[in-house]
Amino acid sequence: MRLISLWCLLIVALALSFARPGIANVNSTTRPSDLALEIEALRAMQDLQITSTQLQQFSDAYDAAHGFNNTQVADTGNIDKAITTGGNDYFLLLRLRQSLLNEDARHIESAEKELAQLEQRLRINLTPRIVAGSIAQRSAVKLATAFSGWQVADYIARRSDEVSDPTEVLVAALTQCRGMSSEDFQVFSMDVAQEISELVAGLTSRDKSRVQIRAANLIHMAYALDDDAFSHQRPNLEKEARDVARVDASVALQHWIECEIAQLLANPKLKVAISDRALWVGQTAANSEDAQ
Amino acid sequence: MKMSLTCRFIALALTVPTGYLMAVTVAGTPAPGPGMPSMPGLPYRMPSISLGPPIQRPYEPAPSDVRIVQKSSNDYHPLNTSAATASKKWSRNTWIETGGIERRHFWLVHPLDTAWEKRLVAFVQEREFWSHHQHLINLCWLGQGWIYLDSTTQPTTFPSELIWMGPARVRPSTVALRVHALRVLQSLHLTSGQFHSLQESLSQMTDAGDVVDADVVDNILTTKPDCYATLNSLYRDSVLSNDDQSAADGQRLLSLEDKYQVSVEPTVVVTDAAREQAQKVFAMMNPPQIASYLATRAQVVPNVAEVLMAGMDESRKIADVDFGDYCNCLAERIAVLTTGLDPEANEPVIARVKQMLAEARNLNESAYEDQRSDFQNEIRGIEENCGAIQMIAHSIQWDIACFLSNPQAKGMTTIRARQLQQS
């Protein structure tokens, strides 16, 4: 009986490997959150249309940035809880990863669509949130200068929905924060203040903490006021918010792209993504040579 | 046919280049021919109206834009001078009660389209409470082939409110210019305040830029009817803000351009005033607007190294007579991308690019191949002087400057303004 079970397992394993050719080099014990991180790295690399020289620069900077290990990744536990390793949802992640490695636009699009549906079904964001450490941030500012205008334009175009206007964000936050529980408010105000400071002052500027404090204070003021006082003081608060978040659009975009690069650099799976990409490109080249 | 015997009605269809039939039937005259949508008639009833002061219309067509082909046979009013004059007689800004329906007159005097010579456009009245009327007006305006008339839901339109007129002939390249203007406007996603500022910028510009290759574009569009038909569809869908359809039309036009290896976007000489105003317009944009502009017009930021390298290859092949213009054009493009819209800042880059093109042209094949890497390094040097975001800003400013120099920009902005006002 034990022998039969073993044979069955072997047959299932073989069937799976034949059914999904091209996914063979993924370790089946890879956690879903790690897979999600690698996917995000591959996505960003693809959106940036990164060249091999730039890839090498990223690889070097990654090593330097992670020597200090001050990067945080949130949401990984939720992803691992929601997605079972070896299940259909897990294979969807594998399929997307493979399509990104292949740079197969059609399959990427269909897998991304399925992933969006999965996110809706599970009510979870399958892109882990990465908070880049200071070393990654400093390296990102330097690395951002290595990209050409067309690369950055293309990246912004592909992710245009993610670009925000700091003024709009801060003005909206003044109303959004009201009525929140104190725990939610703490997280919310910190996130908004950080986003505003990064867009307005950039990752490495001395002004960053000043802007962050001003933005946080403003949100705290709006949160603390009762309804009457808030409606009375709202115009002044909004005026102050516009002043805090005032920045030239080009400068804000420059800071935004630096943040994006910092997140890519801080991605713990960047190195895996780079080596997978190199491996895949190498394999494809070898296969085409064999075919010739 | 029964209706034509019992009812007094007007039916109108517009003949479009694809062969719809235009026909007008008044008071029992023969029904329209094949291809024309049926227009049910209702008994005509003259409303009691009082004339108010004329509406200040946002756009006054030049007399050359409009000519009356035939005026309504139901001649209650002397609409016999010109369309522009006639329209004023009928416009009013007071609300008029007719059979319990409030309405306000609106004269449609934009003979927009294109290959409509000898076709009819009607003056119609707009009932602002029903958005479908506005849609029908747009349809009529764009030559879709029919118009709401004295029929189904409202009983009070009367035939003398119609003037039939033919638009002056519009060159195909003009349609292309209008399409370009509309697409830029759409990509800008301006708020109403910003839109107002854009109109102010346009109003400060006295002259539009010259269209250097209008004849070439005319020739392409005349000899390639599928291109022209697609461009017309794109124009129509852009005016009507049918976003999905206009995106599909745009894709279709792109693939036709690829198929025939042509470009139907005319080249407009950017004026100095446009350069100045473009920077002001760009300064109004916020980061999400810039991002969405790039999402719809990402091609505005080219790969400078690739463009210049391809330009050097090309400069070795083109005829002597074309080389000067080619040099000027490419050098200006590279200079604007890397140094912005300031002509003084452009000069050193223009000179350097021209020199490189001349050098590349004069080299023999093996020497050119040998020096290729030197040229590439030099291009990298030109590119390195400008950051990525700066280059994006320059590219968008240039695109806006092209738009502001476009002779059709004012007209298309007026259309959008009116649509915004009505929505």
Record: contact B288-A154, CB cut-off 8 A: no
- Looking at residue A223, what is its pLDDT? 93
Beta partners for residue B12, in sequence order: B24
Please choose, from the candidates B403, B84, B384, the residue with its C-alpha nearest in 3D space to the C-alpha of residue B275.
B403
Mutate to test the interface with A, among B289, B292, B392 (most CBs of A within 10 A): B392
Please choose, from the candidates B109, B56, B414, B84, the residue with its C-alpha nearest in 3D space to the C-alpha of residue B239.
B414
Cβ-Cβ contacts under 8 Å, B337 against chain A: 149
Calculate the alpha carbon distances from B4 to B1, B8, B14 in Å.
5, 7, 19
Please choose, from the candidates B255, B274, B254, B275, the residue with its C-alpha nearest in 3D space to the C-alpha of residue B265.
B254
How high is the ipTM of this complex? 0.84
Beta partners for residue B126, in sequence order: B104
Are A288 and A174 in contact by the 8 Å Cβ rule? The answer is no
Q: Cα separation of B74 and B87, whole Å?
A: 16
Q: Cα separation of A149 and A140, whole Å?
A: 16
- Token code pair at residue B101: 């329906």
- Looking at residue B180, what is its pLDDT? 92
Is residue A120 over pLDDT 60?
A: yes
- Token code pair at residue B165: 């007129």
Average pLDDT, chain A: 84
- Token code pair at residue B160: 């003398």
Find, in chain A, the residue whose alpha carbon is nearest to that of B302. Answer: A150
Record: contact B287-A153, CB cut-off 8 A: no
The mean per-residue pLDDT over the stretch A49-63 comes to 86
Of B287, B298, B386, the CB nearest to A163: B287
pLDDT digits (tens, 9 = 90+) for B245-281: 888 999 999 999 999 999 999 999 999 999 999 999 9
Cβ-Cβ contacts under 8 Å, A157 against chain B: 291, 294-295, 298
Are A221 and A100 in contact by the 8 Å Cβ rule? The answer is no
Of A147, A163, A250, the CB nearest to B393: A250
Label residue A195 by pLDDT band (50, 70, 90).
Answer: very high
Of A148, A157, A163, the CB nearest to B388: A148
Phi then psi dihedrals of residue B180, to 5 deg? -60, -45
**How close B217 gets to chain A, by Cα (Å)?**
28
Q: Cα separation of A234 and A240, whole Å?
A: 10
- Looking at residue B372, what is its pLDDT? 86
Is residue A58 over pLDDT 80?
A: yes
Record: contact A165-B294, CB cut-off 8 A: no
Record: contact A153-B393, CB cut-off 8 A: no
Return the ∠ at Cα A272 (arms to A270 and A276), rounded to 5°: 120
Strand pairing report for B66-71 and B96-98: unpaired
Q: Cα separation of B313 and B311, whole Å?
A: 5
Q: Cα separation of A217 and B169, whole Å?
A: 63
Record: contact A253-B305, CB cut-off 8 A: no
Of A160, A250, A253, the CB nearest to B295: A160
Record: contact A160-B390, CB cut-off 8 A: no
Q: Cα separation of B172 and B253, whole Å?
A: 14
Backbone torsion region of residue B261, taken as left when φ is above 0, otherwise alpha when ψ lies between -120 and 50, otherwise beta: left
* Residue ranges in B118-213 assigned as alpha helix (H): 131-141, 172-188, 192-203
DSSP 8-state code for residue B30:
P
- Looking at residue A5, what is its pLDDT? 59
User: What is the dihedral sign for C-alpha A110, B255, A154, B309?
Assistant: positive
**How close A261 gets to chain B, by Cα (Å)?**
14
Return the ∠ at Cα A126 (arms to A125 and A127), rounded to 5°: 95
Record: contact A149-B301, CB cut-off 8 A: yes
Helix H, strand E, coil C: the string for chain A is CHHHHHHHHHHHHHHHHHHCCCCCCCCCCCCHHHHHHHHHHHHHHHHHCCCHHHHHHHHHHHHHHHCCCCCEEECHHHHHHHCCCCCHHHHHHHHHHHHHHHCCHHHHHHHHHHHHHHHHHHCCCCCCEEECCHHHHHHHHHHHCCCCHHHHHHHHHHCHHHCCCHHHHHHHHHHHCCCCCHHHHHHHHHHHHHHHHHHHHCCCCCHHHHHHHHHHHHHHHHHHCCHHHHHHHHHHHHHHHHHHCCCCHHHHHHHHHHHHHHHHHHCCCHHHHHHHHHHHHHHHHHHHHHHC
Record: contact A253-B304, CB cut-off 8 A: no
- Looking at residue A134, what is its pLDDT? 83
pLDDT digits (tens, 9 = 90+) for A239-265: 999 999 999 999 999 999 999 999 998
Greatest Cα-to-Cα distance within chain B, rounded to the nearest angstrom: 86
Strand pairing report for A129-131 and A72-74: antiparallel
Record: contact B288-A160, CB cut-off 8 A: yes
- Token code pair at residue A53: 């020289």
**Other Cβ atoms within 10 Å of B78 Cβ, number:** 10
pLDDT digits (tens, 9 = 90+) for A202-247: 998 889 999 999 999 999 999 999 999 999 999 999 999 999 999 9
**Displacement of CA A273 from its chain's centroid (Å):** 14
Mutate to test the interface with A, among B282, B285, B286 (most CBs of A within 10 A): B286
Kindly list the residues of chain B whose beta carbon comes within 8 Å of any beta carbon in chain A.
Answer: 283, 285-292, 294-295, 298, 300-305, 337, 383, 386-393, 395
Record: contact A165-B388, CB cut-off 8 A: no
pLDDT digits (tens, 9 = 90+) for B286-312: 999 999 999 988 778 988 888 999 999
Residue B229 identity? A
Q: Cα separation of B309 and B302, whole Å?
A: 12
Enumerate residue ranges in chain B where pLDDT < 50: 1-168
- Looking at residue A20, what is its pLDDT? 43
**Displacement of CA B74 from its chain's centroid (Å):** 34
